[in-house]
């Protein structure tokens, strides 16, 4: 199968602070890959750098379907087919979801008729009909917001979808719903990178490969056995198996909450 997303030897720093260090990843079309890692390991930074958020010192390369990403600006990357869902979707007061999607679809070069058809079809598939004529994300529950994000992706049909913590803050029923929505998005023309702190979502969603990121480095890749290992032993257990010392100084800065969420299991 051909490669959708290729990241090679990516190193990223902010104000000379190293966040990603020699990170490489290859995701073929048609596959769903999970990237797991403790808080502060650099998962969101990876998304930001790939989508083109400014302010990072970037070394290495990344390509989408063979096209170099780092030579393109944010809009060009999106039009090429790279979309990111947000960890904390924002409300857009006064703009209805349907209008918002029509505009986004136009930006991506879709005609009005095609955009309207896709909005109808996908809103039916993801149960978003009742939300189309409400303001974007206004008064939606956490789970509904994440489902809305997946609906939006289904309309825009990216080649590579980066889902950053699509499962965070959701109750167990919502996690199941979101997993089903990600599963429904599977297509031979799409690669999904699902970033998550917890292995919980992997009980409902079968992914093709799991990658673990610690301190800005990809430290292990594997199948479902890796999720099971994390579920029982946490990142601490994996560190021990791989002989990775905890970096206390000059490493990623840890928030107080990180010390309470070292295990990826949270039910």
- Buried-state track 54-63, b at ≥16 Cβ within 10 A, e below 16: eeeeeebebb
Residue 179 interacting with Mg ion (CB under 5 A): no
For 156, 197, 211, 237, 254, the CA distances from 41, given in Å and listed in that order, are 29, 10, 12, 16, 9
Restricting to residues 217-256, which ones interact with ligand ADP according to CB under 6 A?
252-253
Give the three-state DSSP class for 137.
coil
Which of Mg ion, ligand ADP, none interacts with 40 (beta carbon under 5 to 8 A by kind)?
ligand ADP
Q: Decide whether 40 or 155 has the Cβ nearer to ligand ADP.
A: 40
Burial of residue 93 (number of CB atoms within 10 Å: 0-12, 13-18, 19+): exposed
The contact mask relative to Mg ion for 36-65 (x = CB under 5 A, - = no) is -------xx---------------------
**Strands 160-164 and 191-196: what pairing?**
parallel
Residue 42 interacting with ligand ADP (CB under 6 A): yes
**C-alpha–C-alpha distance, residues 262 and 67, integer Å:** 37
Residue 177 interacting with Mg ion (CB under 5 A): no
Burial of residue 225 (number of CB atoms within 10 Å: 0-12, 13-18, 19+): exposed
- Region of 12-20, 64-72, 119-127, 167-175 interacting with ligand ADP (CB under 6 A): 12-20
Report the run of H or E that residue 13 belongs to, with start and end: strand 3-14
**C-alpha–C-alpha distance, residues 267 and 264, integer Å:** 10
- Region of 42-50, 89-97, 231-239, 240-248 interacting with ligand ADP (CB under 6 A): 42-50
- Region of 38-46, 139-147, 184-192, 242-250 interacting with ligand ADP (CB under 6 A): 38-46
Q: Decide whether 139 or 250 has the Cβ nearer to ligand ADP.
A: 250
- Region of 41-49, 114-122, 229-237, 240-248 interacting with ligand ADP (CB under 6 A): 41-49
Residue 81 interacting with ligand ADP (CB under 6 A): no
- Region of 40-48, 58-66, 139-147, 234-242 interacting with ligand ADP (CB under 6 A): 40-48
CB 255 to Mg ion: min, Å: 11
Among residues 39, 63, 65, 135, the one that binds ligand ADP under rule CB under 6 A:
39
Q: Tokens 């979309």 appear where?
A: 83
Residue 52 interacting with ligand ADP (CB under 6 A): no
- DSSP string covering 139-196: T--HHHHHHHHHHHHHHH--SEEEEESTTTT--HHHHHHHHHHHHHH--TT-EEEEEE
CB 165 to ligand ADP: min, Å: 7
Which of ligand ADP, Mg ion, none interacts with 45 (beta carbon under 5 to 8 A by kind)?
ligand ADP
- DSSP string covering 41-76: SSHHHHHHHHHT-SS-EEEEEEEETTEESTTS-HHH
Binding site for Mg ion (CB under 5 A): 43-44
Q: List residues near ligand ADP by CB under 6 A.
A: 14, 17, 19, 37, 39-45, 252-253
């Amino acid at each position: 199968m051909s490669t959708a997303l290729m990241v090679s030897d990516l190193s990223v720093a902010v104000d000379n602070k190293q966040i990603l260090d020699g990170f490489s990843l290859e995701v073929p079309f048609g596959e769903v890959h999970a990237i797991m890692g403790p808080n502060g390991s650099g998962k969101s930074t990876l998304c930001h750098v790939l989508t083109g958020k400014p302010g990072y010192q970037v070394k290495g390369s990344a390509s989408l379907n063979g096209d170099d990403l780092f030579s393109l600006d944010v809009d060009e990357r999106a039009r090429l087919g790279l979309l990111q869902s947000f960890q904390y979707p924002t409300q857009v007061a006064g703009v209805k979801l349907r209008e918002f999607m029509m505009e986004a679809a136009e930006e991506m070069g879709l005609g009005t008729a095609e955009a309207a058809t896709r909005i109808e079809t996908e809103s039916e598939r993801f149960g978003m009909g009742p939300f189309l004529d409400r303001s974007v994300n206004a008064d939606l529950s956490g789970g509904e917001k994440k489902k809305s994000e997946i609906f939006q992706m289904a309309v825009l049909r990216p080649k590579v979808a980066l889902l950053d913590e699509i499962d965070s803050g959701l109750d167990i029923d919502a996690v199941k719903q979101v997993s089903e929505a990600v599963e429904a998005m599977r297509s031979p023309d799409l690669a999904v990178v699902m970033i998550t702190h917890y292995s919980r979502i992997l009980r409902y969603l079968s992914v093709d490969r799991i990658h673990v990121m610690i301190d800005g480095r990809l430290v292990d890749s594997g199948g479902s056995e890796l999720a099971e290992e994390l579920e029982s032993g946490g990142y601490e257990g994996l560190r021990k198996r791989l002989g990775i010392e905890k970096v206390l100084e000059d490493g990623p800065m840890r928030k107080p909450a990180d010390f309470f969420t070292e295990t990826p299991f949270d039910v």
